[in-house]
Amino acid sequence: MSQNITTSAKSLVAQALADVPAISVEEAIALLGSSDHVFVDLRDGTEQARTGTIPGAVASSRGMMEFHIDPESPAHKVEFNQDKTYIFYCASGGRSALAAQVAMNMGLSPVLNMTGGVGAWTKAGGVLE
């Protein structure tokens, strides 16, 4: 018997994009190095190794993000326990929108999703390390 999937990944991403405040890559590039902002890379390690990351970004793969945010988790990352604005990104913006939505539901705030992800970042001249 086949599964009856009632909600598509596309509709989940569309809802997350509607729910999460967005920031353009141009606005995000201007915030690089800001002490008030934390870039969060939601891509997996192989993607990060292949293309590089935004300088200073916290690596938190989509599969581990909830555990990195939760201060009671043994995998908690202290970077998520700061009074800063969190800018989530992935390759193109879909996974980071889903992750940002969950992070907001967990209580992390404020959270922004970088429109277009690292692909748009490099096209706009953003540096990677």
Q: What is the pLDDT of residues 26-46, one digit of tens each?
A: 999 999 999 999 999 999 999
For the cut 80, the answer to whether the pLDDT of residue 1 exceeds it is no
Kindly state the average pLDDT of the residues 93-121.
Answer: 97
Instruction: State yes or no: cis peptide before 110, omega within 30 of 0.
Output: yes
The pLDDT assigned to 68 comes to 98
Question: What are the C-alpha distances in Å from 6 to residues 3, 9, 15, 17, 34?
Answer: 9, 10, 15, 19, 42
pLDDT digits (tens, 9 = 90+) for 49-100: 999 999 999 999 999 999 999 999 999 999 999 999 999 999 999 999 999 9
Say what the pLDDT of residue 62 is. Answer: 93
Residue 125: band (very low, low, confident or very high) from pLDDT cuts 50, 70, 90: very high
Q: What is the pLDDT of residue 123?
A: 97
Name the one residue in this structure whose structure tokens are 């705030």.
109
**Is pLDDT of 24 > 90?**
yes
Q: Which CATH architecture has domain 36-123?
A: 3-Layer(aba) Sandwich (3.40)
Whether the Cβ atoms of residue 121 and residue 54 lie closer than 8 Å to each other: yes
Domain residues of the chain, as ranges?
36-123
